[in-house]
Each structure stands twice: as C-alpha cells, then as structure tokens.
Amino acid sequence: MDYSQFLAMKQEIALLAIFLIVFLYDTFMPKKVLTGLSGITTILFAAFTLAGFGLMCGHTESAFAGMYVTSPVIATIKNILNVGVLIVLIQSASWNNSETQSTRRGEFYELLLVTLFGMYLMISARHFLLFVIGLECASLPLAAMVAFDKHKYESHEAAVKYMLTAVFSSAIFMMGLSYVYLLTGSLYFDTIASSVGCLDAQPLLIVALAFVIAGVGFKLSLVPFHLWTADVYQGAPTAVTSYLSVISKGSAAFAFMVILAHCFGSVYSAVWEWMLYGLIILTITVGNLFALRQNNMKRFLAFSSISQAGYIMLGIIGNNAMGMASLMFYILVYIFSNLAAFGVIQAIENKTGKLDMSDYRNLYKSNPHLAFVMMLAMFSLAGIPPFAGFFSKFFIFTGALSGTTSVALYVLVLIALINTIISLYYYLMVVKSMFLSTEDPIIETFRSSCADRIGMWICTAGVIALGLVSYFYNSILTLCQNSGLLNAIV
Amino acid sequence: MFSNPLIYFVVIPVIMLLGLYLSRSMAHIRTVAVTGSLCLLGLSIWLLVDYLGLRAAGAEGAMLYRGDWTWFSALNIKLSVGVDGISIAMILLSSIILLTGSFASWKINPLPKEFFLWLILLSIGVFGFFISIDLFTMFMFYEVALIPMYLLIGIWGTGRKEYSAMKLTLMLMGGSAFLMLSLIGIYYNAGLDSWNILDIAQADSIPHSWQYFLFPMAFVGFGVLGAMFPFHTWSPDGHACAPTAVSMLHAGVLMKLGGYGCFRVAIYLMPFAANELAWIFLILTGISVVYGAFSACVQTDLKYINAYSSVSHCGLVLFAILMLNTTAMTGAIMQMLSHGLMTALFFALIGMIYGRTHTRDIREMGGLMKIMPFLAVCYVIAGMASLGLPGLSGFVAEMTIFVGSFQETALLNRVFTIIACCSIVITAVYILRVVGKLLLGPVQNEHHLELTDATWWERTSTVTLIICVAAIGCFPNFFESLIRTTFSADIFKVIGM
C-alpha cells in the first residue's frame, strides 16, 4: 500500500491531530488547568483554519482508489465550515467555562471535532461507503451533544428525537443506495454517473433517488422530513443548536449537491429536478409559515433555518457552475448571519436565561449593541441590502435561473421571492420587539464576556463585508468554474 | 473612482453617517445633518449648471459623467453611474427635500441620533438609485432606501405606527420581489451579459414573448412604490403615521423612485411590451388618479387628505408616462418635481401644525389664519400649487401632461384622459374644503389662541420649498429644456417614438 496517499488527507489528519491533543489534554492534565481547554482548542483550531486557506490553491488529488478526493473547491467548502466552527467555539467559550460545564468541557470539544471529521468525509467521499461512514460519524456524536444539558428534560427528549431520526434517515438512505447498487453495480460516484445515464427514468431509479433524497433531506431538515428540527433546536444547548443549524446543514447541503449533480447529473431533468422542485416549494413555504407564530427564539430560528435550507437548495436545482458557487457563498453568508443571531441569543441566555422573543422587548434601550447585532443578523437573513444576505439571495436566484429558459424555474424563483416577504415579516417581528416597543426592557443592562464580543464582532464584520466586498463571491465562482468536479457536473 | 462627481452623492452621506455616529449632542447632530445636506444641495446645483453647460457645448450621449467600476466580475455586475436631465432633476429634488427635512425635524425626540442615521441611510439609497445605471446596483440602492422606513415610522411615528410600518415595508418589499425576478429575467434574456441599462436598451434584444412576462412584473414592482391602484394602500397609512421629515422624504422623493423606475427600467428596456400592455396600466393608473382624489375629499385627518392626494398626483405621473409620447413624459417628470416639492411642503406644514395643536383632525381646528398666519399662508400657497394655480408648479406639470395625453387619439387614451382631467376639479374641492375649514373658519378651540407661529428653522424649511415651487411655476422653460435635452439625446430613438 502506498502510504503517501494519506498526504491527500491533510485537513482530516490535522483535524484528528487536534482531536487527539484535546483528548489527551482533557484526560491526563490536572484538574486545575483544565479551564484552559477552551482557549487551547480555539487557538489550535484558529491556526488550523488559517493553514487551511493555503490548500485552496492546491490541485485535485484522490486517494484510496478514488474513494477520497480533494480539490480547491472541496478545500474551500471545508474552510468555510472551519470558519463557522471557529465562531461556534468562540461563542461557546463562556458557556463552557461556566461551573455546570466543568466536568464535561472536554467532551463538547471532542464530540464537535469528531462530527466535523465526519462532515469532511461526507464532502470528500467519492464512494458511497465512505460517504455513509462520514454521515454516521457526523450524526451520532451530535445526538450526544444535543443531550448535553443532562439535567434538562427537553435536552433528553431532543436527543432521543435526533437519534431516532438520524438512524431512521440513514436506514432510508442506505435502502436507496442498495437500489442504486442494484442498478449500476457500483458504489463509486464516477461509475454510477456513467452508468446511470443510459437508465433513463426507470421506476426503480426514481425510487432509489427518492430514498436517497429523503435520507439526506432528514439531515437538511427539508419539509416533509423536518419534524424533528424545532424540538431538537429548542432542547439542545444553544452552542450545539448553532453548530447544528449552520455547520451540519452547510456540509450536508454541499454533499447533497455533489451526490445529485455528480452521480445523477445525467438524469437531472428526467428524475430529480421535479422532486427537488416540490421539496423546495414545500420547504420554503412551510418553514416560513410555521416561523410566523413562534415566540421562543431557538424554535423561531429552527423554522427560519428550515426555510433557509429551501433557499440553499435553489443552488442545486439550476445544475450549473453558478448555482454551485452561489450555494457555497450562501452557506458562507448563512453561517455568519445565523451565528450572529445565535451569538446574541447565547450571550443573553448565559446572563439571564431568557429565550423568548417577548423578553427581548426594548432591548435597544438596555443593551444597544446586542440589539444592533441582532438586527443586522435579522436583516441579513431576510436579504436586505447592503448586508451579505441580500447578495447571497440574489446570487442564488441568479444561479437557479442561469442558462435556463424554463418558465417553471422562473415560477419557482417567484414563489421563493414571495416567501422572502413572509420571512421579512417574522424577522421584522424580532426587530420590532427590540426597537419599537416602548415598555421597560425585561433584560437588564449587562456586559457580555470578552469571547462573546469577539464572536459578535467577527459575525458583524462578516455580515457587512461578505457582500459588499466582491472578492469572496468572485473567487468562489472562479474556483467553481475551474474545478474538475464541475466538469463532471456539466 | 473619486474623480467622478456623482460618486460624492453616496460618499457625502456616508461621511455624514460617520459624523452622526461620533456626535455627542443635539447641536452636533444638527450641524452634521445641515452641513451635509447643504453640501449635497450645493453639489446638485453645481451638477445642474455643469450639465447644462456640457449639453450646450454639444456633449453627446444619453448619459453624462459616466463611470464604470467592475464589482462582481463573474456576473459582469458593475458600479455604473451616469446622469441625464431627468436624474439631475430628481437628484436636485432629493437634496432640497433632505435639507428641508432636516430643518423640519429640528426637535426630533427621542433618539435624535438614530433618527438621522436612518434618515441619511435612506438618502444614500435614494441618491444611489438616481445615479446608477446598472440594474443590480440600482436595485440594491432601491432596497436600501426602503428598509429604514420601517424603523423610522415604527419608532418615531404616531398613531397606529407599528401596523403602518409593517404594512408599508411588506408591500414595498413585495413589489421589489417582483422587481428582482424581472431584473434577473432581463439580464438573462437580453443575452448581453450586461446589467447596464444603456447597453440593454441599445440592443433591444429581449424576446417579445419574454417582454410580456417581464414588463408587467417590473412595472408593478416599481408601481407599488408609485402608489398605483390597487397597490396604493400602504401609502395613506404609512404617510399618516410617519414623522414629519419621513413623510416629506417619502412622499416627496421615495414615491418618485417608483415613477422613475417605471420609466427607466420597465418602459425604457421593454418598449415593445410597453406599447402592447400600456392599456392595462393606463386603466389602473387612471383609477388611481380619480379614486385618490375622491378619497381625499372624505378624509378628516390632514395627513390622510394629503396622502390620498399623493396617490392621485403620483397616479398622474405613471399615467403620463404610459402615454408614451414626449410631451406627456416631460409633463410626468415635471409633475414628479412639482408634486415632490409641494407635498413635502404640505407634510412639513402639517407636521408643524400638529406639533402645536396635537391634532390633525380638521373638525377640531379652525381659524388658524388668525392664530398662526405664516403657516396658514404657506398652507394656502401649497394648496394653490396642488390645485394647479398658474404661476406655481402644479399648473405647469398638469398642463403639460394633459396636452400630451390629448395627443394620443386612441379611444381608450381619450376616455381616460378625460376621466383623469376631472381630478383637477376634485382636487380643488378637497383643497378648498381644507383651506376654508381649517384656516378661515371660526376658531374651534380656545386653547389654540395661545399657540405661536413658525420658528426660524420652520420658516427656513417652508420658504425654501415655496421658492422652489414658485421657481418651477415661473420658469417652466428652464426645467422643460433640462428634461428635453434628455429626450432629444437618444432615449426616444430606442423607444421608437
């Protein structure tokens, strides 16, 4: 065996190294220095993230007989996720340093790094076996993370729900895979891609794809596979919820795109375009309609993230390079906007334990900075210029319509656009409660911890700069247009 | 980039934002707001003079002061700027109203700093919109101008402000949803890989079948902001609840974004569909004109009267644009200017009266001529401008519009022109009703006798606006030639008229 192949997996190996350091530190170091764990992990991870940017100008490499692939595009999406994880780490520092966390601080970081490793595998896999390993590795430890608040009933309920849906969706996914194997005789993406083309829309292929889409759909919480989302988001500790809503969703979305566009690109219009079409409309609309009536901020963001997943899917349905770049850009912007919102929620929850939208009334009076960051996050999620969300929405719509003359897609985008108005309503409800209310604020003035403030500064800078500075989108699009993966797609 | 004068219409407000952020007292805030708006006004006057000079010297091209800076290279999105006579007229209007609006909100309370921050952000959107000729940037600035309205009305408004703010924001953003789809459609179907309005108009390459789909969306998208029936319902509530300066800017400038956009994007880029489908919108705008005027007759709240009158007058703008001939369009632009100034004057005066009497119900007020003669006289002047007294701006604009409209001989155009003409009479009814009841009638409330007349900043604000209204009325030729230079350049070669 040629061991030099492992060199292709630089990012995975570095991540595992961090994991080992954290694990050994947590296990063998004396108790009194364990409080430094969050700082060490964050610093190590920051260094790792920075180093990762160097890989974006590398070239395509594959290992293990083509089961594993890495390329500049893949390195980029991993870097995007890394940035998100870094923000999550920073934001969770003050929660992790609290007294209740003292005995299980290490587990949080270890589980988080392992799930990230699983997501890396999902993104890089070019063989369904490796993909499933990644999928499981990314799902099961998350269930443990969801159950982290072990004294809270909701946390348990959420963990059981998450566990059951994760297992159930994996089963469905693998059922689909077995049909794909039956049809094509291989689990390699490339082989499937070449042999699926001559199958047309066989009923069995449609069933297989339906199962595959449903399996990943659970992970992405697409409607009608979304029922676990709100409860899990609400029950999990806020740090885990934010991780679940951006990182887990972002990686699944990218992997989903690779599967659909790469393996089944040739049956795009015959089989999965209309499936996705229906899913997108359902996801965006149902997510929005349920978000309208929420009062708990985490539940509210859960439904908002369901509808955001629908928008992310718009990048796939165009089946072109622009859509792919827009999807990556959307994930990047979504990470920053959503984490800005979760950062504020977490800071407030840590200090006061308040989680309801009605508790946020007149927040601007008592904590103007928090209210301001929250407003930016809401505007960005709603797609209001000049914040990044506007650009990502615009590009995802442009990507969906790129190179098409199909009126159906225009109708789809119109439906998505009308839904942005509904979403604007509920995002403005948060702004309304923070700014327009004249009653006395419930949340008292407090000073956020240093880490919280750093996290919010990063998110604010991202929300403002990611769109206005064209460098980010331009370079992602250039990468996508040059990538080998794309050649397989088009 | 900074050698182009147009860029400063965005740069100055950004500097103002910074200045406001650093201000520590009310005096600082006022200084920043007034200095900044004076700079903007000075810049726009310089632009007007320089532009006319360039045209007189024989400058060619539909737009002058062109500048192109690549932004999103992959999609060929650029920050393209350029102005013609119409944009200059609109820029001038915006800076006048921004200045007078700053004076009108001299004593804004609470949170003066935040108020001006949002107001200036709104003006960035407005100026950016008028100087851009790239569809993407234009749309971006358009939305930048919309969202501050929510907070401006929601925080500083009166009455049912939360409801109105939400209704206004959602309806306008709903319009912009249609607009966004239409713009993306224009970009792809023109097949030029360019977002530049001039390029797309020059090539005129959008397939006719697509124009049937994209034109109504673009027209409705901008038409919502232009208060076109049946999408006008945000306007009365929004205007009635907004604070004074916001009503002024919104009715005076923001609603013009709608008319300007309908002209610059919908009709200019898709002339074929404009010709084919004009009748639908002609009917709708015709209804706006008459319906708005009739509604104004039965209102008792001063702001509602004026808001419905705005629906009527802005309807006339869209109505004239849809006639698709030079005279009527010139009239439309004149009407935008005229309505912008006079409605800002109205709202400023209503704000000042409300600030003293704490009511806007005309049944509870009367005899203001005796109590506050200065404001009352100004109100009469604004009213006269609104009902079209010669010598003031309304007459010039409406005259041009109706002369232009009568040139169209098609039956539908004739019928609707005659119907729209009736609005002049109805306008007279509601204006004179208010003037008679509010200003000249007996004093209704003893306490009102103790009220004072206008302060110096209020006088500055109103007098400036009155001078402008009178200037358009007395020297229509100047403004007409400014607008005509645009139409003679090459816009109409494209539209084919």
Element (H, E) at B78: strand B77-83
Q: Chain A residues with CB inside 8 Å of B166's CB?
A: 425, 428, 432
Chain A: give the shortest CA distance to residue B167, in Å: 9
Separation between Cα atoms, residue A348 and residue B166, nearest integer Å: 26
CA dist A468 and A386 (Å) reads 7
* Contact present, B144 and B124 (Cβ < 8 Å): yes
Reported as a single tens digit per residue, the pLDDT across B64-73 is 888 888 888 8
Cα angle value B197/B199/B201 (rounded, 5°):
65
Question: Among A322, A470, A477, whose Cβ lies nearest the Cβ of B71?
Answer: A470
- Does position A318 have pLDDT exceeding 50, yes or no? yes
Closest partner residue to A414 (CB to CB) among B169, B173, B181 is: B181
Of A394, A398, A424, the CB nearest to B173: A424
Residue A105 has a pLDDT of 83
Q: How far is A425 from chain B (nearest CA, A)?
A: 7
Token pair for residue B80?
A: 């393209």
Q: How much is the pLDDT for B301?
A: 87
pLDDT tens, position by position, B394-449: 888 888 899 988 888 888 888 888 888 888 889 988 888 888 888 887 777 777 77
Q: What is the mean pLDDT of residues A372-382?
A: 93
Q: Report how far residue A327's alpha carbon sits from residue A130's, in angstroms, rounded to the nearest whole number.
A: 23
pLDDT of residue A481: 81
Gap from B341 CA to chain A (nearest CA, Å): 28
Average pLDDT over residues A359-381: 91
Q: Answer yes or no: do A390 and B143 touch at CB < 8 A.
A: yes
CA distance A119 to A135: 7
A417, A425, A473: residue with CB nearest B72: A473
Predicted confidence at residue A122, as pLDDT, reads 92
Which pLDDT band, with edges at 50, 70 and 90, does A29 fall under?
Answer: confident
State mean pLDDT over B296-303: 88
User: Among B222, B480, B149, B472, which residue's Cα sits nearest to residue B341?
Assistant: B472
* pLDDT score at B387: 84
- In tens, the pLDDT along B170-218 reads 999 999 999 999 999 999 988 888 898 888 888 888 888 899 989 999 9
Distance CA B245, CA B102 (A): 7
Note whether B184 contacts A470, CB cutoff 8 Å: no
User: How would you label A6-25 residue by residue, b for 16+ Cβ within 10 Å and e otherwise?
Assistant: eebbbbbeebeebbeebbeb
Looking at residue A418, its pLDDT comes to 93
Average pLDDT over residues A222-248: 91
pLDDT of residue A490: 39
ipTM of predicted complex:
0.92
Q: Which of B147, B150, B177 sits opposite A420 (nearest CB)?
A: B177
In this structure, the strands spanning A68-70 and A61-63 are: antiparallel
> Residues of A with CB below 8 A from B151's CB?
431, 435-436
Which of B188, B217, B224 has the most A C-beta neighbours within 10 Å, making it the best mutation to test the interface with A? B188
Q: How far apart are CA A361 and CA A371, in angstroms?
A: 10
Structure-token pair, residue A111: 């589980």
Q: Which residues of A372-382 are buried (b: 16+ CB within 10 A; e: fewer)?
A: bbbbbbbbbbb
C-beta separation of B345 from B470 below 8 A: no
Residue A299 has a pLDDT of 92
User: In chain A, which residues touch B (CB < 8 A)?
Assistant: 322, 325, 379, 384-386, 390, 394-395, 397-398, 401-403, 407, 410, 413-414, 417-418, 420-421, 424-425, 428, 431-432, 435-436, 470, 473-474, 477-478, 481
d(CA B144, CA B127): 11
B71 interfacial to chain A (CB closer than 8 Å): yes
H helix intervals, A29-104: 37-53, 72-96
Check whether A281 has a pLDDT greater than 90. yes
For B170, the closest of A410, A425, A481 (CB atoms) is A425
The residue of chain B nearest to residue A394, with distances taken between CA atoms, is B180
Name chain A contacts of B184, Cβ cutoff 8 Å: 397-398, 401, 413
Highest mean pLDDT among A391-405, B442-456, B477-491: A391-405
pLDDT at residue A488 greater than cutoff 70: no
> What is the rounded average pLDDT of the residues A393-415?
89
Question: Does residue B91 register a pLDDT over 60?
Answer: yes
Q: Is residue A291 within 8 Å of A423, Cβ to Cβ?
A: yes
- Candidate from B155, B181, B185 with C-beta closest to A435: B155
Q: How far apart are the C-alpha atoms of B106 and B34, rounded to whole Å?
A: 10
| Closest residue to B154, CB basis, from A384, A435, A474 | A435
Mean pLDDT within B123-139: 92
Q: How far apart are the first and last CA of chain A?
A: 34
User: What rounded mean pLDDT belongs to chain A?
Assistant: 89
CA distance A411 to chain B (A): 9
Please enumerate in sequence order all residues whose Cβ is within 8 A of that of B154, keeping only pairs 6 or more positions apart, or say none: A432, A435, A436, B161, B162, B165, B166
CA A415 to chain B, closest CA, distance in angstroms equals 10
Contacts of A470 in chain B (CB under 8 A): 71-73, 77
3-state secondary structure of A356: strand
Instruction: Quick: pLDDT tens for A427-470.
Output: 999 998 898 888 888 888 888 888 899 999 999 999 999 989 98
pLDDT digits (tens, 9 = 90+) for B38-63: 999 999 999 988 988 888 887 777 78
Model confidence at A184: pLDDT above 50: yes
Task: Give A208 to chain B, closest Cα distance, Å.
Answer: 34
Query: Are the beta carbons of B180 and A421 separated by less than 8 Å?
Result: no
Q: What is the pLDDT of residue A489?
A: 46
A414 CB neighbours in chain B (<8 A) are 177-178, 181
Size of interface A-B (CB pairs under 8 A): 82
Alpha carbon distance A473, A452 (integer Å): 28
User: Cis bond leading into B110, ω under 30°?
Assistant: yes
Q: Where are the domains of chain A?
A: 3-489
d(CA B32, CA B19): 6
Place of tokens 């505007």: A379
How many angstroms separate the CA atoms of A484 and A126, rounded? 13
The partner residue sitting opposite B140, judged by closest CB among A379, A390, A436, is A390
Residue A26 has pLDDT above 80, yes or no: yes
Alpha carbon of B152: minimum distance to chain A alpha carbons (Å):
10
Nearest to B150 among A401, A402, A428 (CB): A428
In chain A, residues with a C-beta closer than 8 Å to the C-beta of B165 are: 436
pLDDT at A396 over 90: yes
Quickly state the pLDDT bin for A485 (edges 50, 70, 90): low
The reported pLDDT for the residue numbered B494 is 47
Ordered by start, the domain boundaries in chain B are 5-495
Q: Report whether B318 contacts B416 (CB < 8 A).
A: no
Q: Where are the beta strands (DSSP E) in A318-429?
A: none
So what's the pLDDT on residue A344? 93
Cα–Cα distance between B386 and B396 in angstroms, integer? 11
Chain A residue with CA closest to B70: the answer is A470
Inter-chain CB proximity B73 and A470 less than 8 Å: yes
**Chain A residue whose CA is closest to B140:** A385
Q: What's A402's DSSP letter?
A: T
Residue A313 confidence class, pLDDT cut points 50, 70, 90: very high
* Average pLDDT for chain B: 87
- Given A407, A436, A473, which is nearest B155 (Cβ)? A436
Task: Say yes or no to pLDDT of A487 above 60.
Answer: no
Find the mean pLDDT for residues B348-376. 83
> Which of B 126-185 lie inside 8 A of A, CB atoms?
136, 140-141, 143-144, 147, 150-151, 154-155, 161-162, 165-166, 169-170, 173-174, 177-178, 180-181, 184-185
Taking every pair of Cα atoms in chain B, the longest distance, rounded to a whole number of angstroms, is: 69
**Per-position DSSP letters for B284-319, written without gaps between them:** HHHHHHHHHHHHHHH--BHHHHHHHHHHHHHHHHHH
* pLDDT for res A83: 94
pLDDT of residue A151: 82
Kindly determine whether residue A385 and residue B140, on different chains, have CB atoms separated by under 8 Å.
yes
- Alpha carbons A370 and A341: distance in angstroms, whole number: 9
Which residues of chain A make contact with B156, given a CB cutoff of 8 A?
Answer: none
pLDDT exceeds 50 at position A272: yes
Residue type present at position A146: V
B143 and A385 within 8 Å at the Cβ level: the answer is yes
Percent of chain A with pLDDT over 70: 98
